[in-house]
Structure formats: C-alpha cells, structure tokens
Chain A
C-alpha cells in the first residue's frame, strides 16, 4: 500500500514534466471554405503552426469552389456528411432549407453567452447581423467585412469615364441627370477616338446590373428587386415604387437611342472592360475598388506612354431629380454565413469559437498585413519596420500558404491582404479616397429594408420571381412599341404570378413576428 501511494505521489510530481505526448490530443477541425486545399495546411507554415499551438488544434481543409459550393454544402447536409465548419449564403437565398436545418437542428446554435469571444460578440451585435437570429438564437456566424467603415459599399456605386475624351470634346463634368444624358450623348456622337466612324459606345459595364444601378437612383431611390415598408407598415416591392416606371423608361430610351451598349444584356463580363480600354466605350459604371485586373492593368499595358490620371476619370453619383439626394449602394454588413455542424460537441465548439474569434481580431489582421511580429516585422512606436533585407513587405502569401486560403476564415478582408484598397495603382486608391470622402459626407444610402429577409412563408417558397427578367426585356429588347402598354403587360404578368398575394402573406408574417 505504501509503495502504491509513493508511486502515485511520484507520478503526480512528475506529471507536469511529462513529454507532450501525454498531454491532450489536438482537436482536428474540418473546415469547408472557398478554394482551400490541403497544401495550405503545412506543418512548415509558421502561421499555421502558430495557430495550432495556440489552440491545440489541427485543421482539415475541405475544398469547395465558387461554382459548386451551393450544391456541395447542400448535399453534405442532406446526407448527414458535413464538415465541422462550412460556409454558404443561405440567408435571403434559401430560407426554406435554412429553416429546415434549424428546425431539425442540423447546425449547432451559438452559445447564448458569447462574452468569451469579444470579436464575435461585436459582430453579432451589429443591427443587421442581430436580425439573423432565428428562434432567438444565432444559428450561424454571418461573415462580415473586416473593415466596417463602409467604404466598400460606398465605392460600389462608382462610375469611370474617359477623361481625355471629355476634355477633347470640351465637355463639362455633369452635375445632374439631364447633364449626364447630354454628356453621354456628346461622347457617343462626337467620335472621340477620331476614327471617322460613329461607333463609340456611350455606356457599358460588367453587366447590365451595374449599369442600371448607376442611372436608377437618379430617378427612383428604391433599387429594383428590393422591399420596403410603406406608411401603413405593410411591405411593398420596388416594382410598385413611385418612379420605377420612369426609371425603366429612361434606360429603355437610352438603349434604343444607342447610348447604352447594344450587347449589354448578353455579353461576357469581360467584354465591357475590353471595350472601355480599347477606345470603344466612354463611360463605365462599376465599383471603384479591386479594378487593377479589369481596368488599370489594361490601360497601363495599352497606353504605356500616357498617364492614367489623364485618361480615366470618375463621376459622382447622379443626384435624384426629385429630392436631390446622392444615393449610394447600401448592403448588409455580411454576405454568407458560417455554420457549425450539429455533430460537434461542446468542447470542440469552444475550440472552434476560439479559433474563429481570433481570426476576426485585430491581431490576426496584423498577421495578414505584416506577418509575424518579431519574425517579419517589428513595431517602432507607430511605425512598422519590416525585417527583410530591403525593408519591403515580404510576400506573405508565398511565405505562409495558410494565409492564401484562411485569411478570410472569419471575416472578408480581401483588401488588407494585399495592399490598401486592393490596388497596385496609387491613382486608383486616390479615386477611392476622394470618392469616399465626398460621398460619405454628402450622400445617402439607398432606401432598402431588411425586415423581410428572414421571413419565410408558403407562398414565398413557391413564388417564381420574374421581375428582373421582365424588366430587362422591357429595357433591352430594342422594341419600338408602346412602352406604357409593355409596362402594363409586365405588371399584369407579375400579378398573375401571384406577387401581391405573396407580399401580403409576408406582411402578415412580419406583423406576427413583431408581435402585432
């Protein structure tokens, strides 16, 4: 007996000094995130090692691409074969299935007390994020932008144009809708590229959506396809907003006149940019950030002896002709959500939340921007000094492949990864800065309501939304017929599809949810 006690005492004393093999096994977390692959979790990757040691985990990446992720994730859940963490945009897209997931508890809700995870708690308390609660719990972590200052959304409503052509034709930058139309007309008819053929396209873009989104708020502040609440507390859809017809009519007229690219409704997404860069198009409404590939690289390659500042300019939003406001795009802070499998036990859940919380922290952002402190850089007061030979930022993505796939594990931060505003061109960053400074002060967000995003009703499940399809037909068919008759046809069709019954049912459900 005495010997037994002595042995146990000895063991107790020695236990802290035992090799790591006797300590807790690391938890393996399988994560399905866009474009990750097994090469991103290498034992030699210092950042990955750092995270593994910090939380005592291993990561098993499950591949999914932008093209097939919806199918894959839905299949996994439907066949009870899901990874521990998976990401998909269910909210607002697929409420019926999401409700099934929640009702059948196929995903694990977040703990009610999230105080141990301060970064996540901050995200969850944002107004539009907190609306994603279902049955009073959070069933996912909505994936927000890392930078919540909103520059991203503001810069969404931008518009580029050929500054050199405008100057050549002696045109003033337009300040309102009529001036804008005249401006576009002048560029189309003035043969600015001087090739003797009247072939200049006025406006083109990535797709018809961006182009329409630029002109639309000049007439109707409610973007097409969105919902809003009227003064009685009932919902209505954009097709019934006050000036929707006028806005659609204007686009149709511009298209028929030849100011809008005739191929806008069906060209490949790259075609618009090629036209803009090769002297064929004058105006390009599009987001203002991450355009190196689409615009600036092309221009600097095609015109090496000209300056970007001379060739490309930007336009402010067109003020609304009825209330004079400058409207810019407004979206939710989040896009897509992170779900956690129901099979995860509480201990693993803790690890997962710790990891995700860390990856939403400023500390992790610093790793993404600068690397590991002490290894890649060191702080001197407010300055960052890189410890590389030439003092430049090292190529972190090459050095730490983990960052390639997992830098946006918790939050979207495409900008920070590379450089400010995700651009190599100081001029591009300048445009964004100027635009943001002006619009965030003088502009207003577009009028949209998210009260109805989470509502799911039987009619809504079955409703087939043809609004955009019919709108594009109205605007881009080149028809010379009577627009009023065609618009009436559009309205009739939507009514026949059951639009109004559906809206009413949603309104009812919303009232009930509000407790009225």
Chain B
C-alpha cells in the first residue's frame, strides 16, 4: 500500500486524498460558504478605516488617508485611560467569572437527585434572559441612597454605602453582577460535558475508597479540562469586545474615570462618530487586533500546558 502510494505522482495523491475525504469536505463547505458571503465580503469593507469615506464615491473609490483615524482614536484625551479601564475590568471579570461557572457545575453535579439538579440548572440561567436595562434598573433601585440595601444598613446602625459615587466599589459591583447574570448560563456547557463522563469511573473510584474531593480532582475536573481551556482562550479573545450594555446602563459622571470603556467613551463623546464610519471602522479594527494578539498569547499558554489550542 505504502509503495503504491509513494509511487503515484503528488497531484494524483492529493486528489486521492480529497476523494477519500469527500464527505468530510462536503460537510465543511456550507459553513465556509456562508462565512464568505456574510462575513468575509463585508470584512473587505474594513479598508474604510484607512480611507476618507465619501458616500458618492463608495468605499472603494474613497481617498486613502492612512492612519489618520487611528491617530484620532489614540489622540482622544482619555483614550489610554479608557483602554486600560477596559483591560482591567475585562480581566477582573475573567478572574471571577471564569472559575465561577466551573465551580457551580461541579457543585450541581454533586447533587444526587436529577430533578433537583435540573431545577437548579434551569434557575441559574434565568438572569441571562434579562437585558442589562432591566437588571441595571433593579440594581440602581436597590443600591440607591434610599434603596433597600441602605435602608437595611441604617437599620443595623451601619453607615450608608454609596456605590454609585465611588469608582472602585462600582467596579467590584460590575464584576459581581456580571457573574450573577451570566454565571449560570455559562455553566450549561460544563454540566453537559460532565454528563458525558462514564459513570463506571465513579463507581470504580468509590470501590477504591475515594472520597468526594478525590473524585472531583481525579475524575470530574479532568473531564472538564479541555472544555475549560477552550472557553478560556475564547474569553481572552473577547476582552476588548464586551461590557457596553452593562456599563452604559449603570454608570454615571462621577464614576466615569474608572468605569468608562472604549465603547462607552466613544458612544458618549463622539456621537457623530456613529456616522463617521471611517472612525468607527478604525476603532473596530484596533480592538480586533488587540483581541487577536491576546488570543494568540492565551492559545500558546494553553498549548504549553498540554491541551489542544483552538487550531
């Protein structure tokens, strides 16, 4: 077989391979086709970031202006401050929000009754369905100066807490509420992965006298490892992308120094940037490049630890 294969000309070999894998290729092609049509073709329009958009001339015939809009972005007064805010807030959210769904999944997995397990799992996903407008309203209502939390503090003779006047406390509130909202939803995947672990492994471990924690450490956790690695990499790659809805609904002028991120800053200060498409595209490209760089770093780190990366 080997002799025969190497005796064939390379092109023939390639075709043979494609033919062998024809079903596989057919399975992949629809997705690729859709991506080309709906993602890649519009993506070409990112050249707008380097052009002075003229509606009459269209994207392709507009003038080149090089890095003009990037420089405008970097030159905005608070740019570096909001950029670092976004990095800090996203990383802190990652630190708290990444382990939480895993721990939650592990805990739920320990519940023996399937019915209770399912109710817990369902209930934890509820906040995911509510938009930040609603949750922000609830939070503001409860943490307001005359809201429930402060009322209770007063009743306990403690002093009022003004989260909305203090940037650092505000940030902590951001992390915690993000986890509150998405933690349960994010645990679905982990729970699903956990349920594919062969139960006989647990039985065998039980017979060997393993305690609860040993089972988690040697059976459950390794089962989650690869899923967790992938989600970690993907989350790192989204560091500069998210957070707008949460912050725009919760922040105010006083905490702006610490809570402003790139998207909220631009939204607020350059509303006309909404129609300045070159500028908006430049911002998008900038964020994408940083995200990809961070993603590659995370991917490499995960590969070093022996797991599959995303490629």
Which A residues form the contact surface with B (CB < 8 A)? Answer: 70-71, 74, 77-78, 80, 93-97, 100-101, 104-106, 199, 201, 261-263, 265-268, 271, 280, 461-462, 464-466, 468-470, 472-473, 476-478, 493, 496-498
Knowing A263-B145, A266-B164, A267-B144, say if A94 contacts B253 (CB, 8 Å). no
Q: Does B111 contact A (CB under 8 A)?
A: no
On chain B, the residues within 8 Å of A280 by CB distance are: 146
Asked if B272 contacts A94 (CB within 8 A), the reply is yes
Q: Does B72 contact A (CB under 8 A)?
A: yes
Asked if B253 contacts A464 (CB within 8 A), the reply is no
Q: Does B32 contact A (CB under 8 A)?
A: no
Knowing A100-B54, A268-B140, say if A466 contacts B272 (CB, 8 Å). no
* 9 closest A-B pairs by CB: A472-B253, A266-B252, A262-B145, A74-B275, A94-B272, A97-B275, A104-B56, A464-B269, A497-B77
Q: Mark B64-87, 1 if CB is under 8 A from A, else 0.
A: 000000001001111000000000
Q: What distance in Å separates the Cβ of A341 from its nearest Cβ neighbour in chain B?
A: 12
On chain A, the residues within 8 Å of B275 by CB distance are: 70, 74, 78, 94, 97
Which B residues form the contact surface with A (CB < 8 A)? Answer: 53-56, 72, 75-78, 137, 140-141, 144-146, 162, 164-165, 251-254, 256-257, 268-272, 274-277
Asked if B162 contacts A473 (CB within 8 A), the reply is no
Q: What distance in Å separates the Cβ of B26 from its nearest Cβ neighbour in chain A?
A: 35
Asked if A477 contacts B165 (CB within 8 A), the reply is yes
Q: What distance in Å separates the Cβ of A367 from its nearest Cβ neighbour in chain B?
A: 36
Asked if A265 contacts B274 (CB within 8 A), the reply is no
Asked if A70 contacts B253 (CB within 8 A), the reply is no
Asked if B144 contacts A93 (CB within 8 A), the reply is no
Knowing A262-B145, A266-B252, A267-B144, say if A496 contacts B56 (CB, 8 Å). no
Q: Which residue of A lies closest to B250 (CB)?
A: A266
Q: What distance in Å separates the Cβ of B246 from its nearest Cβ neighbour in chain A?
A: 14
On chain B, the residues within 8 Å of A473 by CB distance are: 253-254, 256-257
- Which single member of B72, B144, B253 contacts A476 (CB below 8 Å)? B253
Asked if B254 contacts A263 (CB within 8 A), the reply is no
Given pairs A104-B56, A262-B162, A473-B253, 14 additional interface contacts (CB within 8 A): A74-B274, A78-B275, A94-B271, A104-B54, A262-B146, A263-B164, A265-B164, A265-B254, A266-B251, A280-B146, A476-B165, A477-B254, A493-B77, A497-B77
On chain A, the residues within 8 Å of B164 by CB distance are: 263, 265-266
Asked if B272 contacts A96 (CB within 8 A), the reply is yes
Asked if A71 contacts B55 (CB within 8 A), the reply is no
Q: How far is the CA of A466 from the CA of B79 in the complex (A)?
A: 13
Q: Which residue of A lies closest to B145 (CB)?
A: A262
Q: How far is the CA of A216 from the CA of B53 in the complex (A)?
A: 42
Q: Which residue of B lies closest to A105 (CB)?
A: B56
Asked if B77 contacts A464 (CB within 8 A), the reply is yes
Q: How far is the CA of A470 from the CA of B77 in the complex (A)?
A: 13
On chain A, the residues within 8 Å of B137 by CB distance are: 268
Q: Which residue of A lies closest to B271 (CB)?
A: A93
Q: What distance in Å separates the Cβ of B81 from its nearest Cβ neighbour in chain A?
A: 11
Knowing A94-B271, A472-B254, say if A104 contacts B146 (CB, 8 Å). no
Asked if B270 contacts A464 (CB within 8 A), the reply is yes
